């Protein structure tokens, strides 16, 4: 097992948004996109802090608990009462200082489209991470957290940078194109991002400087490994 410097500290930011548009269905964070990176980090000896916009228990996307989407990491999470207790008590984003961490990782699920793209506390934290030369990472819909980040000149940070996130075709496949507040692929491109993707549901993550993004749930561990490599 590769071990990193145990002094390294990673902030993981989860969504607080539970409503899937006006469908009456629930959303939240996708369990695998939290579990695989979380265990990659702790197994490497890093200290992880969990946060969300509202603090407390972030909502779990019920679809992510279906049998079809279980992996060794989700099974480990399901049996891990200690981590479930940590999840139930996430810190509020507004109470955090980027100086206390070495990197940040955003797991996906549809929730971030609603509450993390425009969240002022999240934007402040990410911009401070970047200003301090610290890596930022997100997977799937959580790339939305990077949409409105700006560089010191006022340009969108994703402009002219390689980036990925849940694709339009993947959104169409899950029949939520008309439900989500925006299509992530389109919005990343509108901001000048060099949007990259591979075949639907295939593992893919891309890094451009300090920013790491993964395309879909299958990409969560790959994105986490890229973040770990950035901290060596």
- Number of domains into which the chain is organized: 1
**Residue 1 lies inside a defined structural domain of this protein:** no
**Residue 3 lies inside a defined structural domain of this protein:** no
**Residue 162 lies inside a defined structural domain of this protein:** yes
**Residue 179 lies inside a defined structural domain of this protein:** yes
**Residue 84 lies inside a defined structural domain of this protein:** yes
**Residue 28 lies inside a defined structural domain of this protein:** yes
Provide the whole-model pTM.
Answer: 0.96
**Residue 101 lies inside a defined structural domain of this protein:** yes
**Which string of b and e fits 123-139 if b means at least 16 CB within 10 Å?**
bbbbbbbbeeebbbbbb
Query: What pLDDT tens digit does each residue of the chain (232 aa) get?
Result: 455 445 799 999 999 999 999 999 999 999 999 999 999 999 999 999 999 999 999 999 999 999 999 999 999 999 999 999 999 999 999 999 999 999 999 999 999 999 999 999 999 999 999 999 999 999 999 999 999 999 999 999 999 999 999 999 999 999 999 999 999 999 999 999 999 999 999 999 999 999 999 999 999 999 999 999 999 8
**Residue 57 lies inside a defined structural domain of this protein:** yes
**Which string of b and e fits 32-67 if b means at least 16 CB within 10 Å?**
bbbbbbbbbbeebebebbbbbbebeebbbbebbeee
| Full domain range(s) for residue 73 | 9-230
pLDDT for the residue 6: 53
Q: 170 exposed, middle or buried (CB, 10 Å; 0-12, 13-18, 19+)? A: buried
Q: Determine the Cα–Cα distance for residues 119 and 179; give it in Å rounded to an integer.
A: 20
pLDDT for the residue 192: 98
**CATH number of the domain that 61 lies in?**
3.40.50.880
Q: Pick from 46, 19, 10: which is nearest to 111 by CA?
A: 19
């Amino acid at each position: 097992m590769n071990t990193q410097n145990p002094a390294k500290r990673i902030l993981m930011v989860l969504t607080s948004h539970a409503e899937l548009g006006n469908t009456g269905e629930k959303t939240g964070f996708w369990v695998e996109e939290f579990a695989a990176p979380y265990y990659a980090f702790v197994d490497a000896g890093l200290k992880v802090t969990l946060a969300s916009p509202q603090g407390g228990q972030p909502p779990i996307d019920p679809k992510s608990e279906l049998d079809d989407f279980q992996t060794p990491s989700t099974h480990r999470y399901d049996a891990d009462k200690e981590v479930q207790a940590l999840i139930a008590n996430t810190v509020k984003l507004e109470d955090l200082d980027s100086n206390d961490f070495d990197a940040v990782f955003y797991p996906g699920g549809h929730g971030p489209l609603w509450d993390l793209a425009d969240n002022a506390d999240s934007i402040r934290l990410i911009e401070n991470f970047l200003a301090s030369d610290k890596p930022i990472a997100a997977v799937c819909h959580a790339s939305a957290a990077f949409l409105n980040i700006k560089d010191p000149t006022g340009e969108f940070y994703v402009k002219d940078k390689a980036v990925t996130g849940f694709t339009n075709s993947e959104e169409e496949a899950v029949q939520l194109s008309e439900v989500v507040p925006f299509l992530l692929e389109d919005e990343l491109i509108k901001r000048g991002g060099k949007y990259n993707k591979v075949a639907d549901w295939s593992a893919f993550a891309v890094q451009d400087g300090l920013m790491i993004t993964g395309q879909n749930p299958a990409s969560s561990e790959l994105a986490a490994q890229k973040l770990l490599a950035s901290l060596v």
